[in-house]
Amino acid sequence: MNDKAIIMSAASSIREARQDDLDALIELENICFVVDRLSRRSFLRWLKGEQCIFLVATSGNQLLGYGLVLLHSGTRLARLYSIAVAPEARGRGLAQKLLTALEEAAEKEGRFFMRLEVAKENRVAARLYEKFGYSVFDEWEDYYEDHADALRMQKRIRFPEHSSNELPVPWFAQSTEFTCGPACLLMLMSAADPQLVVSRELELDLWREATTIYMTSGHGGCHPVGLALAAHARKFNADVRLSLLTTPFIEGVRAAHKKEVLDLVHQQFMDRGRVSGVPIVHEAVTVLQLERWLQGGALVMVLISSYRLNGDKAPHWVVVTAQDELCFYLHDPDVEKLTRSSLDCQDIPIAKEDFARMLCYGSNRYSAAVILHR
pLDDT (tens digit per residue) in 54-74: 999 999 999 999 999 998 766
d(CA 252, CA 305): 14
d(CA 137, CA 139): 7
What CATH class is the domain 3-156? alpha beta
Question: Which element (helix H / strand E) includes 190?
Answer: helix 180-192
Out of 77-81, 144-148, 198-202, 351-355, the most confident range is 198-202
Out of 2-16, 272-286, 341-355, the most confident range is 272-286
Flag whether pLDDT at 47 surpasses 70: yes
- Give me the chain's average pLDDT, please: 88
- The predicted structure's pLDDT at residue 306: 80
Q: Are 33 and 4 in contact (CB under 8 A)?
A: no
- The predicted structure's pLDDT at residue 241: 98
Flag whether pLDDT at 211 surpasses 90: yes
Flag whether pLDDT at 144 surpasses 50: yes
To the nearest whole percent, how much of the chain has pLDDT over 70?
91
Confidence band for 159, pLDDT divided at 50, 70 and 90: low
Superfamily of domain 180-373: Cysteine proteinases (3.90.70.10)
Q: Cα separations (Å) of 319 from 61, 84, 88, 328, 342? A: 51, 39, 50, 10, 14
Flag whether pLDDT at 177 surpasses 70: yes
To the nearest whole percent, how much of the chain has pLDDT over 90?
63
| Mean pLDDT value across residues 330-341 | 75
- The residue extents of the domains of the chain are 3-156, 180-373
| Mean pLDDT value across residues 190-194 | 95
d(CA 28, CA 89): 12
d(CA 323, CA 317): 18
Flag whether pLDDT at 164 surpasses 80: no
158 against 173, higher pLDDT: 173
1 against 2, higher pLDDT: 2
- The predicted structure's pLDDT at residue 6: 38
Q: Please write the tens of the pLDDT for every residue from 286-316.
A: 999 999 999 999 999 999 988 767 667 788 9
Q: Are 14 and 56 in contact (CB under 8 A)?
A: yes
- The predicted structure's pLDDT at residue 243: 97
211 beta partners: 222
- The predicted structure's pLDDT at residue 11: 58
Strand-pair category, 348-351 with 327-331? antiparallel
Least confidently predicted of 139-148, 162-171, 282-291, 364-373: 162-171
pTM of the complete model: 0.66
| Mean pLDDT value across residues 355-370 | 91
Phi, psi of 300 (to 5 degrees): -130, 135
- The predicted structure's pLDDT at residue 10: 46
Chain-centroid distance, C-alpha 269: 32
